[in-house]
């Protein structure tokens, strides 16, 4: 098998795997090869970089590419990676620790969590669809908003409790509280709101 055929087979395998698997069930998916590895191992005078780009057209777009490299400055593969990394903005090198695979793996995982965004509520890794996205799902966003509201209510109460009337201070459904004039149509939600309000008042 020629080098160009090997590169084509690797790109085809990535595309088939990507299009026939449901990756929505996973928080993170690790691939052991990418378009960058095709550049490093398959580009030769007879296999041009344009060919590698063409055959990888339908390969999955990876959020981050980790290059595990040996600590050898004169290594040929390392030189190829060094020349190619400047063309990618999501490539991060990790030094290979000889005779310590666990430490190398730890470095890879730490790099992933440093580079990729994590949800401000649950800490789960996610892919940003917009630049200022802070939460991985609507549920996490709602939970974070509820928590912030609780903090705001608590701070408001502690700041103004000495100036509140006794009726306002201890009344369920007071201004800024969890309860309102009309009950929630969902009894479970209403029960949770009542429980939260009782906790807020120390009942």
Residue 41 lies in a domain: yes
CA angle 179/143/109 to nearest 5° reads 165
How far is residue 100 CA from its own chain's centroid?
27
Q: Do 100 and 174 belong together in one domain?
A: no
Domain final residue, candidates 64, 89, 123: 123
Residue 145: φ, ψ to 5°: -65, -40
At 60 the pLDDT is 82
**Separation of alpha carbons 22 and 24, rounded Å:** 6
**Separation of alpha carbons 180 and 175, rounded Å:** 9
Residue 128 lies in a domain: no
Residue 185 lies in a domain: yes
SS (H, E, C) 11-37: HHHHHHHHHHCCHHHCCCCCCCCCHHH
Residue 131 lies in a domain: no
User: Among all chains, which residue has been given the structure tokens 């057209």?
Assistant: 57
Q: Do 69 and 101 belong together in one domain?
A: yes
Residue 65 lies in a domain: yes
Residue 112 lies in a domain: yes
At 8 the pLDDT is 92
Name the domain count of the chain. 2
Q: Do 158 and 61 belong together in one domain?
A: no
Q: Do 73 and 19 belong together in one domain?
A: yes
Q: Do 43 and 69 belong together in one domain?
A: yes
Low-confidence ranges of the chain (pLDDT < 50): 175
Residue 174 lies in a domain: yes
How many CA atoms are closer than 13 Å to the CA of 160, on its beta-carbon side? 12
- Least Cα distance to 56 among 33, 35, 26, 84 occurs for 35
**Separation of alpha carbons 185 and 15, rounded Å:** 48
Q: Do 118 and 156 belong together in one domain?
A: no
Residue 130 lies in a domain: no
pTM over 0.85: no
Q: Do 109 and 31 belong together in one domain?
A: yes
**Separation of alpha carbons 32 and 10, rounded Å:** 11
Domain that holds residue 146: 139-201
**Separation of alpha carbons 93 and 143, rounded Å:** 36
At 146 the pLDDT is 86
**Separation of alpha carbons 38 and 10, rounded Å:** 8
């Amino acid at each position: 098998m020629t080098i160009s055929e090997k590169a084509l087979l690797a790109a085809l395998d990535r595309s088939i795997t990507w299009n026939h698997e449901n990756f929505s069930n996973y928080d993170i998916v690790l691939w052991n090869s990418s378009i960058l590895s095709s550049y490093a191992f398959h580009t030769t005078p007879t296999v041009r970089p344009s060919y590698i780009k063409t055959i990888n057209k339908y390969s999955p777009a990876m959020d981050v590419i980790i290059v595990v490299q040996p600590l050898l400055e004169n290594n040929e593969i390392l030189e190829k990676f060094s020349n190619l990394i400047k063309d990618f903005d999501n490539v991060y090198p990790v030094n290979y620790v000889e005779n310590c695979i666990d430490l190398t793996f730890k470095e890879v995982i730490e790099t992933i969590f440093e580079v990729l965004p994590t949800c401000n509520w649950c800490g789960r890794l996610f892919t940003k669809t917009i630049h200022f996205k802070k939460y991985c799902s609507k549920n996490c966003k709602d939970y974070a908003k509820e928590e912030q509201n609780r903090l705001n209510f608590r701070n408001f109460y502690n700041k103004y409790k000495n100036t509140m009337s006794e009726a306002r201070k201890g009344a369920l459904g007071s201004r800024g509280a969890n309860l309102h004039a009309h009950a929630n149509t969902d009894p479970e939600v209403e029960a949770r709101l009542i429980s939260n309000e009782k906790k807020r008042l120390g009942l």
